[in-house]
Chain A
Amino acid sequence: MTLGTQEGRQPRAVADLLPVVPVAVVAGGGMAAVVATSWGLMPLYGEPTPGADGWRQVATDLGPAVRETLVLSVGATVLALVVGLGIALVLLAGSPLVRAATLAVLAVPHLVGATSVLLWLGDGGWGARLTGADPGTWPELVAGPWPVATVLALAWKETAFVALVVLAAVAPGHRERMETAATLGARPLQRWTRVLMPSAAPALAATGLVVLVYSIGSYEVAWLLGRTTPEPLSVLSFRMFGSIELLDRPAAAAAAVTGSALALGLTLVAVAAGARLGRTLGAPS
């Protein structure tokens, strides 16, 4: 394992791009391919048949799918930010046990989290057993009208992520900032609202965007815990991709492209809004 052999610090232009190449090939190529597939340009067999057939086929399902995707993504993001912030505050006060638990949760695969939520909130789940609910009276949290279980499962692991990032952003200099604010007359609540929250805001915004985008693209959690109609975009596109009907492939690709566009679009909006916010507050150096 080497890091290159050239002398001096300045790498050659080619070497500079070394990490970019795999991303361009895999991610860029993959995206280009899926867009092409959605327009019928990359069938599994035979000649390409360019056209909007794939899009037309999935058109009626796209609306509800987008709505469902947004509901669960925004829900998971909000929950992850709120709880994540709370955990970050607990971590600020210093608790090795919570810190260890946060790191551990971060290392648990999403699918395991989804399984756990299923075992808790499903019809025969532990939640129903512990509360002694009669069969049929346990609310439909899994595969119900609202994606409660999906949101909880997605948010659960992401709270650990949010907590650690916010902690890293806020912890350095925290005590000094709080003391300074106190000597300037700020009462405890004011210290939180006027100093602590603003200093956590950038980290919250960044992690919120990451969680939002991840939730839009996430498959296995929604697949395990969600209902069959309407499906979020990822579940819809995967199902159609695996169907026997070869003609479903372009439609599946179209759904996947929609999800990607949603993620990218929201990112661009958020970055632009962040840039504008930075300018109005006076651009930091």
Chain B
Amino acid sequence: MSATAATAVRRSATGLALLWLLAPLLPVVLWAVSSRWSGRARLPQELGLDGWTAALDAGLAPALVRSVLLGLAVAAVATPLGAWAGRLLGWRIARRPRLLAVALVLPVLLPPLAVAMGLDVVVLRIGVPGPLAVLAVLTVLALPYTAFTAAAGFARVGPGPEEQARTLGANARQARWLVTWPALRRSLALAGLLAFLVGWSDYVVTLLLGGGQLVTLPLLLGASASGAGNEPTTAALAVVAASPGLLLLVVAALVLRAARADATGRSGRMAR
């Protein structure tokens, strides 16, 4: 294949990839800014923020707050727990590594619906408040992500620097805080982000165990989407629900563009 043909293939493949990834969100964006888009029209006839007013009326603001709080709560619990497990895995100091690995993989394998269903009766009988039950289940669901992300970070850093700090006179706590912790900031931030997203995106567990009090953004969205004729509202809710993703898109694009501009690399004739 000649060089120009190869570039053409690469360009069209990139275009297709972008299309697949971003095009699905287009109608959401369009509906979110249209006030009238009826019949068979190709594009909205009138733009407006009616959908947003309706969404706010339906309880967008409190739902947003609840989603944020739930996400933060899941991150707050699942990240330290995951970091603990990640340290055991990443530095290979677990007494029973197999058991730990199985325990961490299980939440990925078991359907959340089944677990929530089973716990529903237990929770009701014992009298655990709904939101707490939701938090517990979502934390367990997020644990695999936080643990394995943290494990990768720990594996990369290694116990070496911390031991070195101990030989320089730091006690265990100092060594951890001053040496290992800062080196792991990025991994733990990523783990926290993943845990947040688990809490932010969840539908079924919140619905089942929330006891009706915990109306988060996904619940509101689900109710609106399954109804008929309120596309602008649904779209507005969907945009808000997707906002972490959209934010990430912008940030990642900027960061990656900057990183690429910095990097000087050899480019051989062979691209593959």
Which residues of chain A are near B3, meaning CB under 8 Å?
Answer: none
Q: Given A32-B118, A33-B119, do A27 and B110 touch, yes or no (CB 8 Å)?
A: yes
For A171, the chain B residues whose CB sits under 8 A away are none
CB < 8 Å neighbour of A117 from B24, B176, B268: B24
Q: Is B65 an interface residue (CB 8 A)?
A: no
Residue count of chain A within 8 Å CB distance of chain B: 105
User: Is A191's beta carbon under 8 Å from chain B?
Assistant: yes
| In the complex, B200 has a CB within 8 A of chain A | yes
**How many A-B Cβ pairs are below 8 Å?**
301
Instruction: Decide: A23 near B103, CB < 8 A? Known: A101-B21, A217-B111.
Output: yes
CB-CB under 8 A from A275, the residues of chain B are: none
Q: Is B47 an interface position by the 8 A CB rule?
A: no
Scan A91-111; emit 1 where CB is below 8 A from any B CB, else 0.
Answer: 001111111111111111111
- Residue contact A120 to B27, C-beta cutoff 8 Å: yes
A46 CA to B191 CA, complexed, in Å: 43
Interface contact B253-A97, CB-CB below 8 Å: yes
| A108 with B245: CB separation less than 8 A | yes
* A34 and B118 form a contact (CB under 8 A): yes
Q: In the assembly, what is the distance between CA of A125 and CA of B27, in Å?
A: 8
Q: Which B residue sits closest to A196, measured CB to CB?
A: B272
Closest chain A CB from B207 CB (angstroms): 9
Tell me whether A259 and B27 are in contact in the complex, defined as CB-CB below 8 angstroms, given that A110-B201, A178-B272, A179-B270 are known contacts: no
Q: Is the CB of B245 within 8 A of A104?
A: yes
Residue B30 is within 8 A (CB to CB) of chain A in the complex: yes
Option from A29, A103, A106, A132 in Cβ contact (under 8 Å) with B118: A29
Chain B contacts for A247, CB-based, 8 A: none
Chain A residues closer than 8 Å to B58, beta-carbon distance: none
Distance between Cα atoms of A263 and B20 in the complex (Å): 28
In contact, A19 and B103 (Cβ under 8 angstroms): yes
Complex Cα spacing A114 to B256, Å = 28
Report which B residues bind A (CB closer than 8 A): 1, 10, 13-14, 16-18, 20-22, 24-28, 30-31, 40-42, 80-85, 87-88, 91, 93-96, 99-100, 103-104, 106-122, 124, 136-137, 139-140, 143, 147, 159, 172-173, 176, 197, 200-201, 203-204, 208, 218, 221-222, 225-226, 231, 234-235, 238, 241-242, 244-246, 248-249, 252-253, 256-257, 259-260, 268, 270-272
Contacts A36-B118, A104-B248 known; list 8 others, CB within 8 Å.
A20-B99, A33-B122, A34-B114, A34-B118, A90-B17, A104-B21, A188-B1, A220-B222
Please give me the 3 A-B residue pairs with the lowest Cβ-Cβ distance, nearest first: A217-B111, A34-B118, A33-B118
